[in-house]
Amino acid sequence: MFASKKKKQKEKKQPKLPPSSVQLKEGVRNGSKPPMLATQRYLQFSEVHDDVLVLKNGGLRAVLEISSINFNLKSEEEQTAIIQSYQQFLNSLNFPVQILVKSRKLDIDRYLEDLRERESHIENELLREQMTNYIEYVQKLVEFSDIMEKKFYVVVPFDPPKAQKKGMFASFLDYISPADTVADLMARKRQFKRHKKELESRLSTAKVALENCNLNVTQLPTDQIIQLFYQTYNPDTSRTQKLRSLEDTAVDNGPSENLVAEEA
């Protein structure tokens, strides 16, 4: 009986901690928040501005959108001319390029918005009803027919010597610790203008050679590059949640010259 009283006194001296405090991590108990492990940290690119995609290693990428032609409908002489022009395009390149073919479901949301806007200004009741029926018909046609569209791109790169000469150990460190540092950001901004001149020279070469193939060539601006990546990484969400303008995204409109001095 005396021993049981001692045990009860010892139990009283050691109060139990609440279950919630046992599950707290060290950083939470100290009042500090652990760093966010966002998926964005593992992407190879850092920012988009001045119609250029900037990689974390300092490399630059520009994207050219290319029109398509129906090769099978061309005559034999025209087909031969197209093949020779494409051969000249490949021979004119002294740098690598990436050819991207992107297929996705046809998006006519903006077209339908334009039709609804016109419908609201139609005063004739019969014409307004016909417009309403036409909008419903087009919407159901695209929804149930699963109509696809193809777009063709040529990605023109420029990699500074520092980005090209990474060894196996440095590449491994970048893989396990992909976070971008302030020093990396400042270095990229200092070198951006000089590297962009080299990229523009390559762009001019590729653009002239592709236009000789009777193709329409357009360089994607900043907002369309963002749209391209948004649709690629979010194929389902991008159909319901549209990016209306650059103000809806966290994008740098250009290199901040007031942050760091330009290199001579």
Domain ranges, ordered by start, for the chain: 49-101+152-234, 107-146
Cα 86 from Cα 117, distance rounded (Å)? 43
**Residue for token digits 């020779």?**
84
Q: Cα-flanking dihedrals φ and ψ of residue 201, to 5°?
A: -65, -40
Cβ count within 10 A of residue 66? 20
Cα 12 from Cα 85, distance rounded (Å)? 90
Closest to 256 (Cα-Cα) out of 179, 184, 180, 192: 192
Q: Residue 252: which residues within 8 A CB-CB, separation 6 or more? A: 47, 48, 49
3-state secondary structure of 1: coil
Residue 238 · residue 102 · CB < 8 Å:
no
Angle at 58 between CA 90 and CA 201, to 5 degrees: 35
Cα 137 from Cα 140, distance rounded (Å)? 5
Q: Could you tell me whether strands 148-158 and 45-49 are parallel, antiparallel, or unpaired per DSSP bridges?
A: unpaired
Please report, in tens digits, the pLDDT of each residue of the chain (264 residues total). Answer: 445 555 555 555 555 544 444 444 444 444 444 454 566 677 778 888 899 998 888 889 999 999 988 888 989 999 999 899 999 999 989 999 999 998 887 778 888 888 999 988 888 889 989 999 998 998 888 777 777 888 999 999 998 876 555 556 555 555 555 566 666 667 778 788 888 999 999 999 999 999 988 899 999 999 899 888 888 888 878 777 777 666 555 544 444 443 333 343
Q: What is the pLDDT of residues 98-131, one digit of tens each?
A: 999 988 877 788 888 889 999 888 888 899 899 9
Residue 60 · residue 53 · CB < 8 Å:
yes
Regarding pTM above 0.85, the answer is: no
Q: What is the pLDDT of residues 20-62, one digit of tens each?
A: 444 444 444 444 444 545 666 777 788 888 999 988 888 899 9
